[in-house]
Structure 1
Amino acid sequence: MMLMTTNPYKAVFIDLDGTLLNKQSVVGERNAACIKKLVAKGVKVIFSTGRPIESVRHICGAIHQDDPVITLSGSMIHKTMFGSPMKAQTIPFETVRNILETCRDLGGVDNIMLDDEDGFYSLHENEEIEEFVGMFHKRPKVFTYDQVPSSAVLSLMIHSKANRRDIYTSLHEKFGADAHFTYFKEYPWIEISNFSSNKGVSMTHVCEAYGFQLDEVIAIGDGANDLEMIAAAGLGIAMGNADEEVKAVADRVAPHHTEDGFAVVLEEIFGL
């Protein structure tokens, strides 16, 4: 018999990197046990990450797989870990083409990565793309500036070691009304998605599907792509290792992710 929670929170939306995962990019024993205890109490556990679904399945599939999963920083929602897509928001084709043309003219771009529901594409096969090879478990298809490889691009990532801030500023000024931009202080990629796509919007969509109010859910994360989700949740939690701008919108701060901060704070809130 499932034990139902008396806690006012019915769901927890969980970022992966820098939140649930440790330095080795795996879920530690205490965090995994915490998730299983939440599920046993009837709490919905929704992973919400910038990673593609293939990577989430590899990392978290053995821990929990029955609730929706938000991937690509909100561009996709899957009904369950191994279920079909629930919602997908693509970047308009013309916007993608114009961004690529502008990147070519600006210069200073080391690589560009695009992905759709079938896989991912890169401008070059170089070292910057290797982390995505590990996430997708396949090699990318190579494209050129002159040819947009897909008409259904979910996410566009731009890598620049030398001019990332300048490239971000130029692109955001020109296309900020057409797409959603995320700039990470430590992560060397600029993330671009559909204008109406972010983790907060996708969290709201999942809540509507389950009949939850936003004040009945918790969101926990550490990065710039967690801002909207943490700000919108009834209880927004920033990790101790989170960016200061993330901590500024959070209701409370958990310990560092290397100290099992996720489990520490959720165990306290739910009395696990």
Structure 2
Amino acid sequence: MPPYRLLAIDLDDTLFNNQLGITPRNREAIRAAQQAGVAVTLATGRMFRSAQPIAQLLNITLPIIAYQGALIAQPQTGDYLVHRPLPSKVAHSVISFIKPLDFHINLYLNDKLYMQQLTVYGRRYAALSGVDAYPVGDLVSFLADRAPTKLVAIGEPPEIDRLLGQTFPILSRVVHLTKSKPQFLEFSHPTATKGQALEWLAGHYGFKREEVLAIGDGYNDIDMVEWAGLGVMMGNAPEPVKALADHVAPANYQDGVADTIERFVLNELA
């Protein structure tokens, strides 16, 4: 048995290549790890309904981590194991702060994507995620007292950096803020992180920390990669992110996931 018994893999810019595909080599490495008895999960910022078909394609039976860790759910049945939504009052405050600044805002409720109106950003995001988008007008009125899984502000990267600088001093005590891509700033429950979700999942299934291997590429993957027994960042990750990894794999367009599995899992069986 290889020393790593649980493998957590990010999707965008990690398992996915630049065409949002999964190469045959990556698929075969995951299949070989599963056949060797290694449990595999996905850890993504995507909606569950966006990640679920990928999990099914890869024959993943373990619950998957979605929404940056706000949701852990079974890919076969859709049953929730953990859901950490953003309290409605906090969500109202976030929306009210961002709205005057003219950023596009995504709101996620019951695993559906809502927005005030279908903007260019909204259409592009929905197409990227392979989901439908529902324009509902004023988001605060639409949300009422319900608790969304998360909120995402979308804009040009320099504007998102400025928004992070503006919101962090004000909101960081009540929300978890992270950039999943240069143009996305995400707001979720303070405990809704990939690292905390992976820690819960590992404990739930009896995996020790040192038996967990996690692969990511972004700022939103940092606490997951730091928590895992072996934390791997992709070669296409930002330099500050790569500096925090135990190992830097080849880039997502160079089958970095397969290289990692072959090096640290499958070679242990040879």
TM-score (norm 2): 0.92
Which residue is 1:110 aligned to? Answer: 103
- Identify unmatched segments of 5+ residues in structure 2: none
Cα deviation, 1:93-134, whole Å, max 9, x if unaligned, reads 1111111111234x2x33100102241211221110124323
Which residue is 2:116 aligned to? Answer: 123
Shift of 1:17: 0.8
Shift of 1:46: 0.6
Which residue is 2:81 aligned to? Answer: 86
Q: Is this contact kept in 2: 1:75–1:197, CA < 8 A? A: yes
Cα deviation, 1:39-73, whole Å, max 9, x if unaligned, reads 10110101010111221133342222311110011
Q: Is this contact kept in 2: 1:199–1:229, CA < 8 A? A: yes
Shift of 1:205: 0.6
In structure 2, what residue type is equivalent to 1:252?
Answer: H
Which residue is 1:137 aligned to? Answer: 131
Among candidates 260, 267, 270, match of residue 255 of structure 2: 260
Which residue is 2:238 aligned to? Answer: 243
Partner of 2:57, secondary structure, is: coil
Partner of 1:209, secondary structure, is: helix
In structure 2, what residue type is equivalent to 1:8?
Answer: P
Q: Is this contact kept in 1: 2:249–2:257, CA < 8 A? A: yes
Q: Is this contact kept in 2: 1:119–1:136, CA < 8 A? A: no
More helix by share: 2
Which residue is 1:159 aligned to? Answer: 154
Q: How high is the sequence identity, in percent, across the aligned residues?
A: 28
Q: Is this contact kept in 2: 1:79–1:86, CA < 8 A? A: yes
In structure 1, what residue type is equivalent to 2:172?
Answer: G
Q: Is this contact kept in 2: 1:16–1:47, CA < 8 A? A: yes
In structure 2, what residue type is equivalent to 1:261?
Answer: G
- Identify unmatched segments of 5+ residues in structure 1: 1-5
Q: Is this contact kept in 2: 1:219–1:237, CA < 8 A? A: yes
Which residue is 1:3 aligned to? Answer: none
Partner of 1:249, secondary structure, is: coil
**Higher mean displacement: 50-59 or 191-200:** 50-59
Q: Is this contact kept in 2: 1:220–1:236, CA < 8 A? A: yes
Among candidates 35, 45, 52, match of residue 50 of structure 1: 45
CA distance in 1, matches of 2:135, 2:77: 24
Partner of 2:143, secondary structure, is: coil
Does 1:32 pair with 2:27? yes
* RMSD, aligned α-carbons: 1.7
Cα deviation, 1:135-184, whole Å, max 9, x if unaligned, reads 25223232315425261211100012263222211211111100000135
Shift of 1:206: 0.2
